[in-house]
Amino acid sequence: MQGKTIVVTGATSGIGEVAAVELARMGARIVFTARNPLRAVDTLARLKIANPDAEHSYHLADLSLLDGMRQAGERIARDAPIIDVLINNAGAMFGRREETKDGLEQTFALNHMSYFVLTNLLLPCLKAASSARIVSTASMAHRAMKLNFDDLQCKNGYFSYVAYGRSKLCNILFTRELARRLQGTTVTANCLHPGFVATRFADSSDGLMRAGFGIAKKMGAISPDAGAKTIIYLASSSEVDGVSGLYFSRCAPETPTPEAQDDAAAKRLWEISAKIAGMD
């Protein structure tokens, strides 16, 4: 990864930070987004220790807002006109249904729309590289989920885990349609399940869910170091040169649910997302 430029969202904690630091150690320059300026400074310091020769940088942005997504994309494109790897990793689970100022349910906005908008804005920079990769963090939480295209914003009954699981299904469908649209280019797109990782995940949920996930993390969660392995693998391994449109777990392709392989649903989600983002 010597001399390569990697853009990472969700890089100030958990698997995103582990992946960013490890890829920096491998020689990459890291450009990342952050919402919290103090965490951004801490992560930047770790990156400088990992690879002091690279000009790492960050851009503050709220990726749950369409304006924040657009501003981040525009700033990153100016900062890094050639991008070798884009890692879409920002995400969260929310205990209560809340809408952003754009009228979007916040899980859908952050976990799906930020991937969609940022990727599309940075595609020219990715295509400018000799070859480039898009890596998106999905989850096995997509299992047993099905998109309700009549209620993508969960207005008719909100359950946090369902909203999260559907957003992860969106990640896989997005990757599938993105890979189809990238055929004939030197850019690939894959997604992954990192495992159940002991991070800050679900810490912003309500008391009962936060307590439940806290217990589960103590009993069976893997470390952020272990959870980041598939991200690092997809970003750097020669084994996945030219591989596109797949869902990975434990550094190997895995078959997602039939709902996650629905090409018509993937195309429909793309078209709806483009309309929401004003990119249609």
Q: What is the DSSP string of 18-82?
A: HHHHHHHHTT-EEEEEES-HHHHHHHHHHHHHH-TTS--EEEE--TTSHHHHHHHHHHHHHH-SS
The pair of three-digit structure tokens given for residue 255, joined into one six-digit string = 């078959």
Concatenated DSSP letters for 150-171? T-TT--S---HHHHHHHHHHHH
Name the maximum alpha-carbon separation found in the chain: 52
Task: Give the count of beta carbons closer than 10 Å to the beta carbon of residue 90.
Answer: 25
17-to-30, 31, 90, 216, 253 alpha-carbon distances in Å = 11, 12, 11, 22, 23
Helix 14-25 / helix 229-236 crossing angle, nearest 10 deg: 40
Spatial separation of the C-alpha atoms in residues 171 and 134, rounded to whole Å: 12
| Alpha-carbon gap, residue 271 to 113, rounded angstroms | 12
Q: Which residues contact 169 (CB under 8 A, 6 or more apart)?
A: 142, 145, 146, 147, 257, 259, 260
| CA–CA distances in Å: residue 20 to residues 45, 220, 256, 275, 278 | 12, 24, 26, 32, 30
Residues with a catalytic annotation lie at 164
Contact 161, 122 (CB under 8 A): no
